[in-house]
Amino acid sequence: MPPLDKPEAKKDVAPASLRWRLPSVHPDGRKFMVASAALMLVFFWIFGWDTLGWLTLGLTIWIGIFFRDPVRTTPVGKGLIVSPSDGTVTMIASCPPPRELTGPGGLSGDPVVRVSVYLSLFDPHVIRAPMEGVVKKLAYIAGKLVNPELDKASEDNERQHILVEGTDGIRIGFTQIAGVIGRRIVSWVDEGDAVLAGQRVGMIRFGSRVDVYLPAGTSSQVLLGQRVIAGETILARLGVTEVIEGVAQ
């Protein structure tokens, strides 16, 4: 074993700059925080309504939590597909992709593995690209107010479909699905834009789900009930069909 003071023995030591830092609030949420904080001040200092003051203080804190935009470290490698969102894996099923993502230049329409990730009201709602490529399709559909945990939300709720094609021609589709509270999907990319794996591509407000349609011949590398992290958790590896197993504990 080499002495501890040799460079090769220290190569895995994290530099001092790697430390925890408070996640920033995305600009989309700052206006809501300012409005809530102003209302809190009115209740506390102008009207002396302490109860409403404390309630709006709690609302201000929650808005900061909801709109937080943490820095993520995305694994880079051939064939890696990362989670586009934070949340809990609630469904893994074989089903045809949405018709908006199929056809010429899109997916084939044959059943593929769909991984659904549910975002609670306390998860960051910034959505990221699952792999590097070019945005080939964007399709927005206005919808209803169905609970995003239900399977029919994929067809009934407000949603935004995105199709990304990699440099090798592999295509992956994913869908942002709005929830039952203040529904709004914000997109930060257009058709023809190049994106990197883990790049921010949009946001969903408030409470929602993301469906990922894996390429043919690819199986999920996450489990039902597993917590995933946007831009970091590996959902799948292209061409890997081995099904993994796990245990809740």
Q: 120 and 56, same structural domain?
A: no
Residue type at 199 in one-letter notation:
Q
pLDDT at 153: 55
248 vs 86, residue with greater confidence: 86
How much is the pLDDT for 60?
A: 87
**Looking at the domain assignment, is residue 2 inside a domain?**
no
18 part of a folded domain: no
* Residue where one domain finishes, among candidates 16, 46, 69: 69
Q: Looking at residue 3, what is its pLDDT?
A: 36
CA–CA separation, 240 vs 17, rounded Å? 36
Last residue of a domain, one of 11, 40, 69: 69
What is the structure's pLDDT at 29? 75
CATH number assigned to the domain comprising residue 128: 2.70.70.10
Q: Whole-model pTM?
A: 0.80
pLDDT on residue 111: 95
Let me know whether 106 and 189 are in one domain. Answer: yes
Average pLDDT for 178-188: 73
Q: Could you give the CA distance from residue 64 to residue 23 in angstroms, rounded to a whole number?
A: 9
Pick from 100-109, 140-149, 198-207, 230-239: least confident: 140-149
Distance CA 203, CA 153 (A): 17
Report, as residue numbers or ranges, the catalytic residues. 208
User: Considering 69, 96, 123, which residue would you say is the last residue of a domain?
Assistant: 69
pLDDT digits (tens, 9 = 90+) for 110-143: 999 999 999 988 888 899 999 999 999 999 988 6
19 lies in a domain? no
Residue 177 lies in a domain: yes
Closest CA to 82 of 189, 197, 188: 197
Identify whether 243 is part of a domain. Answer: no
Structural domain including 51 reads: 24-69
Q: How many domains does the chain have?
A: 2
**Do 183 and 100 belong to one domain?**
yes
Judge if 61 and 89 occupy the same domain: no
Q: Is residue 16 part of a domain?
A: no
85 in the same domain as 65: no
* 45 and 111 part of one domain: no
What confidence category does residue 207 fall into, taking pLDDT thresholds of 50, 70 and 90?
Answer: low
36 and 125 share a domain? Answer: no
Q: Are residues 63 and 104 in the same domain?
A: no
- Name the band, by pLDDT with cuts 50, 70 and 90, for residue 247: confident
Same domain, 145 and 220: yes
Per-residue pLDDT for 192 more than 90? yes
**Lowest-pLDDT choice from 16-25, 73-82, 167-176, 185-194:** 16-25
Residue 9 maps to a domain: no
Total Cβ atoms within 10 A of residue 36: 18
Could you tell me which residue, 59 or 181, shows the higher pLDDT? 59
Residues 40 and 161 reside in one and the same domain: no
Same domain, 105 and 215: yes
Let me know if residue 152 belongs to a domain.
Answer: yes
User: CA 46: distance to chain centroid?
Assistant: 40
Task: Quote the strand ranges of 60-111, DSSP E.
Answer: 68-69, 80-82, 87-95
Residues 171 and 228 occupy one common structural domain: yes
Residues 26-60: pLDDT tens digits? 777 778 888 888 988 888 887 778 888 899 999 88
